Amino acid sequence: SLYFGDISPAPPDPVFNITTRYNNDKNSYKVNLGVGAYRDENGQPWVLPVVREIEEMMSQDHSLNHEYLPIEGLQSFRESATRLMLGNECRAIVEDRVRSIQCLSGTGSIRLGAAFLKRFHPDSAIYVAKPTWGNHRNIFKNEFFPESMIKEYPYFDSATRGLNLEGMINALKEAPERSIIVLHACAHNPTGVDPNREQWEAIADVIKERNLMPLFDSAYQGFASGDLNEDAWSVRYFVSLGMEMLIAQSFAKNFGLYNERAGNLIVVAKNSSDAAAVLSHLKALARPMWSNPPNHGARIVATALNNEDLRAHWFRNLQKMANRIRAMRELLLEKLRALGTPGTWTHIVNQIGMFSFTGLTVRQCEVMTSNHSIYLLPNGRINICGLNHDNIDHVAKAIDDVVR
């Protein structure tokens, strides 16, 4: 064949591949802790009641149509999403130096940011956390940043199962000026370890002093603590220091709109003409990629954010998810303690967000799957949402078994 003959297949995506293997498993007691999506207490995907309510309203509204959105997306979505991230009191917004463009969820927002950086700062190094969400490196690689330019800063300290602040700060101190620092706004994936406020301040100091640029990845606002302001604190703090930055915002998790691809890339610039110029180039980059973004998810988010009652309804839905996750963390810890499982497990309740970085080794993870039909990432990351009252004993016993 002329074109397709010499191509060996690409490896399957490690996370999506876990779901495939889980689906093929015939055991009735199988548990999927690999997928990064919320599950309710019955192990089922949860359509947020507020989303159902808005969809019903939309189905009655015959003025809605399927016309193209502008390249930059739905204005009511972009504006309300940006305010949700930066806060209503944000000085940068008042000073008109913030712009945003609707993108294909969090991934598309980071990707468009990466395309912009490749065009205007092709020589910048990209720093990602060690470890980080598997897709970060891929995104920059696929925007043709050479692998040698995609560097890691230490993040997780496996001894304390907490933050390696000193290692992180030292790496940032040594980063060349104009490097891009990819930061998780909250609920760090995969570790569930976030800096506290004092630690964020120290991180921000170095980034500012060294003229580095933060690229915040915000995929879990409100989902982590149940409080939208709390989860946006890091981003707002950096903005308050007057830094330029990009913020990639996803509504996959906090609205349960995974497949609707509702995302927003925010630019905070020094002044409004810079901000406008950046937005014009983001539009120029988006046009030959996806041309214009999808409407459905963005309209749901905008409708919820712009109506007081719906917004309150959304908060309640968010809190329900955050509370269930916290309850499952506590219950898992309790079960492991009751079993007398060797090791300390308090990190399970100290970690934040959807994931817990259990500390299980690659080998132990393999046995979790082969002997117990429990599916998780080889780095030991489990999705706490995959736990419920029916399967938690099985999971706790399996952990107990593999660490003995």
The continuous run of DSSP H or E covering 162 comes out as strand 162-163
* Nearest CB to ligand PLP, comparing residues 37 and 403: 37
- In a 3-state reduction of DSSP, which class is residue 100? strand
* Nearest CB to ligand PLP, comparing residues 194 and 217: 217
Q: Which residue has the tokens 């109506």?
A: 307
For strand 156-157 and strand 355-357, is the pairing parallel, antiparallel, or unpaired? unpaired
Query: Which 119-148 residues touch ligand PLP, going by CB under 6 A?
Result: 133
Q: Which residue has the tokens 């930061």?
A: 183
189 binds ligand PLP (CB under 6 A): yes
Query: Which runs of consecutive H residues, i.e. helices, occur in 64-164?
Result: 75-86, 91-94, 105-120, 134-142
Least distance (Å) from ligand PLP to the CB of residue 353?
A: 9
249 binds ligand PLP (CB under 6 A): no
Least distance (Å) from ligand PLP to the CB of residue 163?
A: 16
Which of these segments, 64-72, 84-92, 104-112, 199-207, binds ligand PLP (CB under 6 A)? 104-112
Is 133 a residue of the active site? yes
Query: Which runs of consecutive H residues, i.e. helices, occur in 219-271?
Result: 228-231, 233-240
Q: How far apart are CA 390 and CA 25, in angstroms?
A: 18
Q: Is 233 within 8 Å of 87 (Cβ atoms)?
A: no
Query: Which of 30, 46, 133, 335 is flagged as catalytic?
Result: 133
Q: x-or-dash pattern for ligand PLP, window 224-243, by CB under 6 A?
A: --------------------
169 binds ligand PLP (CB under 6 A): no
293 binds ligand PLP (CB under 6 A): no
100 binds ligand PLP (CB under 6 A): no
Phi first, then psi: give them for residue 43, nearest 5 degrees. Answer: 80, 15
Query: Which of 30, 46, 194, 217 is flagged as catalytic?
Result: 217
Planar angle of CA 363, 368, 374, nearest 5 degrees: 140
Task: At 390, list the tokens.
Answer: 């029916």
The continuous run of DSSP H or E covering 98 comes out as strand 98-104
Least distance (Å) from ligand PLP to the CB of residue 349?
A: 20
* Nearest CB to ligand PLP, comparing residues 163 and 333: 163
Q: How far apart are CA 253 and CA 36, in angstroms?
A: 9
Tell whether the torsion through CA atoms of 124, 84, 86 and 46 is positive or negative. Answer: negative
* Nearest CB to ligand PLP, comparing residues 116 and 133: 133
Is 217 a residue of the active site? yes
102 binds ligand PLP (CB under 6 A): no
381 binds ligand PLP (CB under 6 A): no
Q: Which residue has the tokens 């915000």?
A: 218
Least distance (Å) from ligand PLP to the CB of residue 196?
A: 19
* Nearest CB to ligand PLP, comparing residues 181 and 219: 219
264 binds ligand PLP (CB under 6 A): no
Task: At 109, list the tokens.
Answer: 């927002």
Largest separation between any pair of C-alpha atoms in the chain: 63
Among 73, 106, 222, 386, binds ligand PLP (CB under 6 A): 106
Among 113, 226, 256, 263, binds ligand PLP (CB under 6 A): 263
Q: Report how many residues bind ligand PLP under the rule CB under 6 A.
A: 13
219 binds ligand PLP (CB under 6 A): yes
* Nearest CB to ligand PLP, comparing residues 164 and 250: 250
Query: Which runs of consecutive H residues, i.e. helices, occur in 259-307?
Result: 272-286, 296-305
* Nearest CB to ligand PLP, comparing residues 179 and 250: 250
Burial of 162 (0-12, 13-18, 19+ CB in 10 A): middle
Give me the active site residues, please: 133, 217, 253
In the complex, which residues of this chain contact ligand PLP (CB under 6 A)?
A: 36, 105-107, 133, 184, 189, 217, 219, 250, 252, 258, 263
